[in-house]
Structure 1
Amino acid sequence: MKVFRGDSSGGEFVDYTVDADEGQVVLDVIHTIQATQASDLAVRWNCKAGKCGSCSAEVNGLPKLMCMTRVNSFRPGEPITVAPIKTFPLIKDLVTDVSFNYGVAKEIPAFRPRPPEADGRYRMMQEDIERGQEFRKCIECFLCQNVCHVIRDHPDNKPRFYGPRFFVRLAELEMHPLDTEDRTELIRKAAGIGMCNITKCCTEVCPEDIHITDNAIIPLKERVADRFYDPFRWIFGKLRA
C-alpha cells in the first residue's frame, strides 16, 4: 500500500507492505501500519461503520470512506494508493482541515417552524415529510465537497459557493412542511447555486446514495429561477407596485 505522508509544506507517498486478512477494509490496513510500522501516521476516524464520515480519503484516486472500502475489492497484487482528500488544506498525512464546511453551516438560517394549530399540535402530510427524509441521511463525509470541481479546481470560489453538502442542507430545510424561513435570496447569492453546472459528480460519490443533484440542487435552482428570473412574475410585481 502507498500512503501519502507529509504536511502543508510537502510530502510523498511511502510504500508499506501489509498482510491483509479476509474481510478487512482499507482503514484496517491503515491501523495495522500505525501499529507496526508508522506510529506517527495521522488519520481521522471514529465509528468505523460508515456513519460518522470521518475517514474520507482518495483511494486509488477515487473519493471513498476508508472504513467502507474492502481490500478484496481490488485485484490481487494491485497496488492500493491512499491520499488525503484534495479540496481542503492538508494538516498531516491523511488529515485535512475541513473547517470551511463548519463556517458555511453557521451561515445557513436555522429551522423556523410556523405556529402550532389551535390545539397546540403540528400536522403534516406524510408525503411532505418523506420529501426531505433522504437529505437527513447525510453523514458529512464531505466527499461531495471534495469532488465538486467548482471548489476543487478553483479554491478561490469557496467564499462564493457553499457546495453540494450545503445544498442538501438547504433543501432539507426549504422542503420541510413546517419551516417558514425564506432562504431563496441566500441560495441565489451567498450559496452561489448558479455556479453549479449539475455534472452529478457529487451524487456519484455519496456513500448514502443521496440524489444530491436531482432531488436537492435542481429543485433549489428552480426556486431561484421562479423567484428572480420568471418574466411573468416580474411583470406582475411591477403591476402590483
Structure 2
Amino acid sequence: MPERLHGYPGVAFGGYVAGVLAGWAAAKHVRVDFRRPVPTGLPVRLAATPDGGCALTADEMLLATAVPVDSAGVAAGVPAAPSWAEAEAAAEAYRADPPDGQTDCFGCGLDRTASTGLRQHCGPVPGRALVATAWTPGPELASRGGLLPPELVWGALDCPGNAAGRLLDGRPAGAVTAALSALLVRPVRAGERLVSYAWMLSSAERKYGVGTAVATADGELCATAEALWVLPRTAVHGRS
C-alpha cells in the first residue's frame, strides 16, 4: 500500500484497503473485517478464500478479510441525501472549526486537494441527525474512462463514519474502522458534484455503528455502507 494512501501515519487508509479487497471478492455487496492495521510501504499478500472472498496477510499474519454478503434491501434504508447547498455549508463549517486529532488522511485530511485526497470534510447538517460534505473528485483520481476507481468510492464511504461518531455521538479522536460493508449502486465520475453523508446506527462503550452514503448533487444514490468503528481503550478511558 503506497504511503500517500494512508489514514493514520504509517497505516493504509481503511476505505481504500477495503475497496481493493472487495474488487478481489468480485461480488456486488462485500463485507471487509480488519484484524490488524495494514502497513504502508511493506509487502502484503492477497489471496482468494474458499467462501468467494479473499484474505490480506503480511508475514503470515492475517490483516483483513473480505466476504460476499446479501444485498437485499440494503439501499432501501438509506436516508435521503442532504442538498448540495446543505452539504457545502456543513463542509465549510467543519473546515472552519475541525475537531481535534486531525491527521493527513487521504480520505479526510484538511490539507489534501481534489487531486491528492477525497476531502471528506463532513460537518453536521442543521435539523437532521446527519453529517455531510460536498465534494468533487479531481481528474487525477480517475481511472481510464474518467470514472473514480471503486476502491476510492469505498474510501468515500469510510471517513464520514468517523465524523458521525465525533460530531453526533461525542466520540474522541483515535477510532479505527473494524468492519466496512459496502454496496456500489452506480459508477461515479471524476469531476462530478457529489454529496457524502453519514448517520449513527448504534453506540456502545468502545464501539459504534454508522451508515454512510454517497449521492450525486441531485440526490441519486451512488453507494452506501455500514461500518463498525472501535476506539482504543486509552481513548475510552480518557474520555470526559
Same fold (TM over 0.5): no
Name whichever structure is richer in strand by fraction. Answer: 2
Name whichever structure is richer in helix by fraction. Answer: 1
Using the size of structure 2 for normalisation, the TM-score is 0.24
Using the size of structure 1 for normalisation, the TM-score is 0.24
**Greater relative contact order, per chain length (Cα 8 Å cut-off, separation 6+):** 2
Larger Rg, first or second structure (1 or 2): 1
